[in-house]
C-alpha cells in the first residue's frame, strides 16, 4: 500500500474517531475482530516460530487493533499438521505454515512452497507477483475455503544432517531420511526411505537411530533444535528446496467479511514480511554456521557430484509426473512454474549467477 494511501486512511480514521465519540461504546466494539492464528511451529522457534509471531503482531498493529490476532503454537489449539483443516473449517481464522506440508490435499499445492532444482526466494516471489502464480495460488486454495499469501522464505535449505558420510548414490539406498514436499518424492526415487515429521521428532529419531539423516531448514533453526548433537555431517547444497516459502492462509469467509481496508492490511502485513523474514534467515544462518563449525565440530560437506546429478534426474521425473497429472489445475500450475523458472533462470545465468561467481573469486579482499 502506498504511503499516500496510508496518510489518507489515517486522516479519515481521525475523523471517524471523533464521530465515534457521539455513539455508544458497542458501536465501536462491533468494528473489532479477534482472530486465532494456529501455526505449524513451536512457539518462537528461531525462524518460522519467530516469523509467525511477527505476522500476528503486524496485522494487529497495522489494523489499529481492529483485527486482534492471538497466536497458538503447534499443539496448543490444534496439532501443527492440522492447521490447514482447522482454518478451512473455521476452527481458527488464520494459520502460518509452509505449502510443503499439504501435498495430501493436492500435489499442485507443493509448487507454491519449493521445488527441487527450482526457484530461489526472490524468484518465488517474482513468479507469484509477476508470472501469474498468485492467481493460481488463489484458485487452488479457494477450493478449500482459504485465501493464501506468501509471508516469508527461509532461503536455500540444506541437504541435511547425516550420521554417516555420503560418498555415492549407493549410500542413499535404504537411508531413513526426513524431508517434506516434492523433495520427498525426489528422494524416494533414489531409494531413500522418506519420513515426514516435525523438527523435535526429527531430533529424537536421529538420536534413537530411527532416522539415518534428515533435513529441516538451515543452520539458524537447526541449531536451536540441536541436530548437531546427534549428527555431525552437515551436507550442502539443498537442491531439494532451493528456497522454502512460508505462507499465511485465512479462512475465506473471515477474509471476505473484512472491509476493503482491512483486506489490504492483511495483504500488506504478509507482503512486508517476506523480505524481512528472508533476509533475517540468511543473516542468522550465516552466523549460526560459523558457530556450528567453530564450537560444535560440525563437518560441512558437499554432496558428491554424482549424487547431485542423480537428484537432478529424479527431480525431472517428479516435475514430469506433475505435468501429466490427472488434475487440470495441477498441470496448469506446473506449466506456469516451469515457464517462469526457465525465463528467470536463463536471465540469472548472466545476472545474479554471474555476479555471485565473480564475487566468490575475491572474497576476503
Annotated binding site for Na(+): 216
> Alpha-carbon distance 38 to 74, whole Å?
7
Q: Are 188 and 326 spatial neighbours (Cβ–Cβ below 8 Å)?
A: no
Nearest of 178, 176, 170, 174 to residue 191 by alpha carbon: 174
CA separation, residue 139 to residues 95, 115, 135, 268 (Å): 18, 19, 6, 20
In DSSP terms, 35 is beta-bridged to: 69
Sole residue written with cell 464521530: 19
* CB-count burial class (<10 Å; 0-12, 13-18, 19+) for 34: exposed
The two beta strands, 213-214 and 146-153, are unpaired
The two beta strands, 245-251 and 146-153, are antiparallel
Cell (9 digits) for 354: 554471474
Q: Is 166 helix (H, G, I), strand (E, B) or coil?
A: coil
Q: Is 96 helix (H, G, I), strand (E, B) or coil?
A: strand
In DSSP terms, 235 is beta-bridged to: 160, 301
Q: Are 153 and 280 spatial neighbours (Cβ–Cβ below 8 Å)?
A: no
CA separation, residue 80 to residues 31, 85, 96, 340 (Å): 30, 11, 10, 31
Question: Binding site: which residues?
Answer: 157, 178, 215-216, 241
> Alpha-carbon distance 365 to 359, whole Å?
10
Sole residue written with cell 541449531: 223
Nearest of 231, 222, 215 to residue 158 by alpha carbon: 215
Stated length of the chain: 365
Sole residue written with cell 545476472: 351
In DSSP terms, 146 is beta-bridged to: 251
Question: Binding site for substrate: which residues?
Answer: 157, 178, 215, 241
Amino acid at each position: 500500500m502506498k504511503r499516500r494511501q496510508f496518510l489518507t486512511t489515517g486522516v479519515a480514521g481521525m475523523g471517524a474517531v471523533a464521530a465515534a465519540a457521539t455513539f455508544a461504546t458497542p458501536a465501536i466494539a462491533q468494528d473489532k475482530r479477534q482472530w486465532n492464528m494456529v501455526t505449524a511451529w513451536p512457539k518462537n522457534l528461531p525462524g518460522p516460530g519467530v516469523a509467525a509471531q511477527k505476522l500476528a503482531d503486524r496485522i494487529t498493529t497495522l489494523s489499529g487493533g481492529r483485527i486482534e490476532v492471538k497466536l497458538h503454537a503447534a499443539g496448543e489449539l490444534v496439532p501443527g499438521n492440522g492447521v490447514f483443516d482447522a482454518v478451512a473449517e473455521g476452527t481458527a481464522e488464520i494459520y502460518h505454515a509452509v505449502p510443503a506440508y499439504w501435498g495430501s490435499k493436492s500435489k499442485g499445492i507443493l509448487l507454491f512452497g519449493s521445488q527441487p532444482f527450482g526457484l530461489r526466494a526472490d524468484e518465488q516471489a517474482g513468479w507469484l507477483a509477476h508470472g501469474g502464480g498468485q492467481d493460481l495460488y488463489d484458485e487452488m486454495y479457494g477450493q478449500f475455503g482459504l485465501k493464501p499469501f506468501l509471508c516469508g522464505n527461509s532461503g536455500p535449505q540444506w541437504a541435511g544432517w547425516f550420521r554417516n558420510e555420503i560418498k555415492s548414490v549407493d549410500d542413499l539406498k535404504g537411508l531413513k531420511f526426513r524431508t517434506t514436499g516434492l523433495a520427498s518424492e525426489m528422494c524416494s526415487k533414489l531409494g531413500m526411505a522418506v519420513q515426514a515429521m516435525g523438527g523435535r521428532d526429527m531430533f529424537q529419531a536421529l538420536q534413537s537411530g530411527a532416522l539415518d539423516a534428515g533435513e529441516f531448514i538451515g543452520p539458524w533453526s537447526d541449531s536451536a533444535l540441536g541436530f548437531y548433537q546427534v549428527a555431525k555431517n552437515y551436507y550442502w547444497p539443498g537442491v531439494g528446496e532451493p528456497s522454502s516459502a512460508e505462507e499465511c492462509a485465512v479462512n475465506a469467509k473471515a477474509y471476505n467479511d473484512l472491509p476493503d481496508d482491512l483486506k489490504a492490511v492483511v495483504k500488506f502485513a504478509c507482503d512486508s514480511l517476506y523480505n524481512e523474514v528472508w533476509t533475517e534467515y540468511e543473516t542468522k544462518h550465516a552466523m549460526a554456521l560459523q558457530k556450528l563449525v567453530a564450537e560444535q565440530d560440525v563437518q560441512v560437506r558437499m554432496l558428491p557430484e554424482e549424487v547431485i546429478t542423480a537428484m537432478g534426474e529424479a527431480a525431472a521425473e517428479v516435475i514430469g509426473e506433475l505435468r501429466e497429472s490427472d488434475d487440470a489445475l495441477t498441470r496448469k500450475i506446473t506449466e506456469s512454474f516451469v515457464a517462469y523458472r526457465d525465463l528467470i533462470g536463463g536471465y540469472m545465468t548472466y545476472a545474479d549467477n554471474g555476479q555471485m561467481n565473480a564475487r566468490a573469486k575475491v572474497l576476503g579482499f
